Structure 1
């Protein structure tokens, strides 16, 4: 039996880590694995991970790199030839002129985002985050002791925040804006006109920087991808983050990058030098091969994602109460499920939130998804469509059946 002194003893953990929330995507995947360990057939639609293998030419480049001796420490900001290839890519595909010194290669785009937040945000600084947002944005701001100001886009506008919303949210304490396009979790894509309006707002506030997460750039169903840094008046205040995980199915390789002014890039390099140093040597050689190989393999995967999106939307439209805009990119659907709040499960429990509904679908329908509360949109649930056609069809058949059991 614990004595009272032990019960009351202060935590040995820092306030910083105690305040940090576990990633809800990882938490839901953990729950799904626990059920699977019990022999239950769970279809996991919680992870944002391509179900394709990394293209063969990239894997072959990694094997050759090992044989060629790329097994030593790497420069903190990345190999010079990879940084040059990234700069060339940004010029060729995004019309952004950067030199290798403006590029920092990191262990995944997540580290690039964290480097930038930690390098720019002081305690008390406000960071405007467009919601629905990727789960880690808010926690990164929390680690930097900043204050998150959430702007929620409306369902009617495909969840996209408007320039007018942004202007109204800016205060003298605003330091940074964070957003993604194509968006995780909604799949929404900002148009050139929409980003032009946002750029005009940013241009009127010279102290504010923008962190533009473009990791889903290649998974775009509407054509043009627009980078906010293309708007010249604010280019030097935009940090563009991208990587190889999504477009090249290289999630486990952990290679991402950012492009920014030399001052900001140097700050991120300094931060990274004290956390991880340079990214894995072999993974960097694989990333170089990915860029040199062009977009053919990525485009092939995108067509599969488009087909799956269309198939899933057809099924979702048959589920009463799910309100879902058509995603323009990424590989998610993000329906508003609030029509089910207040309903009762067969065991008598009440569905009051999206979290309740996600857990009910996991336990009753054996389909794992992530509550919208994790993305700043408490009326929604995120489903990944990065799974086989067969699994997706079965998953939404199960979802429809278990929702019909709610009283």
Structure 2
């Protein structure tokens, strides 16, 4: 028997990122040597101290429900970390532990967006920020991030998009997919706009520890008048290489957290108890591990940016955060999806078409350098050969 899906599902397409990954994986299973540059997954193992803490928690029998909000020790450590690293004074009861930033995104929007409310969202962006509000009956309104502007926000354009239905602004800083980092000047102007129009800000800062070339990450909640209107999203997947552990968090004033926990308790209940205990150890003892990974990402980025810009026919800017390069392939004369398919089939290199992240991503490919240095070298050699073959 066939059942009709809910109408809201019409706005939820399957992820193009996962579609590329599935095709690349099938090719690999068929014996082809595919290099994966499509997925935003660190190639490092989770630091041993974190794994050991999870094991000790399991051995101790800590396998039961926790508070909906998360265990007190972790909430305290998150508040302390955010205060020390982002300059925002949080208390433990201003923290909600979530199952990854994906759940935090959903909870922050489901708690505040009504039917017809508008939310300003970057273009290009991780598409959860388009499809989650759409599924809730809200209206995502995009503002453009352009390569020629180093992926900073055009404040005049953003201001022009604000209406009496606008309720929320989303920023992803550093950016997925561009790797761009918003400057303090940009964030100060954005904060003035948010205050003037009484808007809630959702700030996805999952990549805040992965910045390069002496770039300073600024948390918008640290700016005057912004803590009270900002939901800061963070987590452990990227900097600590814990993607499969599924642990994130949000920091916000108590009233905002109280609203979000009502969504959280009816969808998730709580994050895994032993994972939460392991994350306490991550925040306390693993700064050196994070720095070692960051330095290796820096090395890969420096190599890849130089090597890609030496290939006639493609180019890229020098991203300052995350572990992505947004490669400009416009001169190849094909859509980003066609170029992605060409590189996968011809070079056996998997990358994501920029169109997967919105209309401003058309003409680009997202390359993830969260892979070994050797794989990155080989992948770019193959890309070079494939571009030269295409241009003959």
User: Is the shorter-chain TM-score for this pair beyond 0.5, marking a shared fold?
Assistant: yes
Secondary structure, in 3 states, of the residue corresponding to 2:316? coil
| Deviation digits for residues 36-80 of structure 1 (CA, Å, limit 9, x no counterpart) | 111111111110011001111111111111111211112111101
TM-score of the aligned structures, taking structure 2 as reference length: 0.96
Secondary structure, in 3 states, of the residue corresponding to 2:261? helix
Secondary structure, in 3 states, of the residue corresponding to 1:184? coil
What is the CA–CA distance in structure 2 between the aligned matches of 1:156 and 1:258, rounded to whole Å?
32
Secondary structure, in 3 states, of the residue corresponding to 1:75? coil
| Deviation digits for residues 247-275 of structure 1 (CA, Å, limit 9, x no counterpart) | 11111111100011212211111101111
What is the CA–CA distance in structure 1 between the aligned matches of 2:99 and 2:37, rounded to whole Å?
25
Aligned to 2:357: 375
Secondary structure, in 3 states, of the residue corresponding to 1:57? helix
Map 1:8-19 onto structure 2 (within 5 A).
12-19=4-11
Matching of residue 358 in structure 1 with residue 340 in structure 2: yes
TM-score of the aligned structures, taking structure 1 as reference length: 0.93
RMSD: 1.4
Aligned to 2:222: 230
Secondary structure, in 3 states, of the residue corresponding to 1:96? coil
Secondary structure, in 3 states, of the residue corresponding to 2:141? strand
| 1:131 counterpart (119, 123, 127) | 123
Moved over 4 A (4+): none
What is the CA–CA distance in structure 2 between the aligned matches of 1:95 and 1:294, rounded to whole Å?
20
Aligned to 2:182: 190
Asked if the contact 1:118/1:144 (under 8 Å) is kept, the reply is yes
In the alignment, structure 1 segments of 5+ residues that lack a partner are 1-5, 342-350
Matching of residue 401 in structure 1 with residue 385 in structure 2: yes
Aligned to 1:113: 105
Asked if the contact 1:333/1:384 (under 8 Å) is kept, the reply is yes
Aligned to 1:172: 164
What is the CA–CA distance in structure 2 between the aligned matches of 1:262 and 1:209, rounded to whole Å?
14
Matching of residue 38 in structure 1 with residue 30 in structure 2: yes
What is the CA–CA distance in structure 2 between the aligned matches of 1:149 and 1:51, rounded to whole Å?
34
In the alignment, structure 2 segments of 5+ residues that lack a partner are none
Asked if the contact 1:77/1:104 (under 8 Å) is kept, the reply is yes
Asked if the contact 2:47/2:286 (under 8 Å) is kept, the reply is no
| 1:209 counterpart (196, 200, 213) | 200
| More displaced 10-residue stretch of structure 1: 23-32 or 161-170 | 161-170
Asked if the contact 2:122/2:170 (under 8 Å) is kept, the reply is yes
What is the CA–CA distance in structure 2 between the aligned matches of 1:152 and 1:335, rounded to whole Å?
17
Q: Which has the larger radius of gyration?
A: 1
- Alpha-carbon shift at residue 29 of structure 1 (Å): 0.7
- Alpha-carbon shift at residue 184 of structure 1 (Å): 0.8
Aligned to 2:238: 246
What is the CA–CA distance in structure 1 between the aligned matches of 2:288 and 2:345, rounded to whole Å?
40
Asked if the contact 1:132/1:159 (under 8 Å) is kept, the reply is no
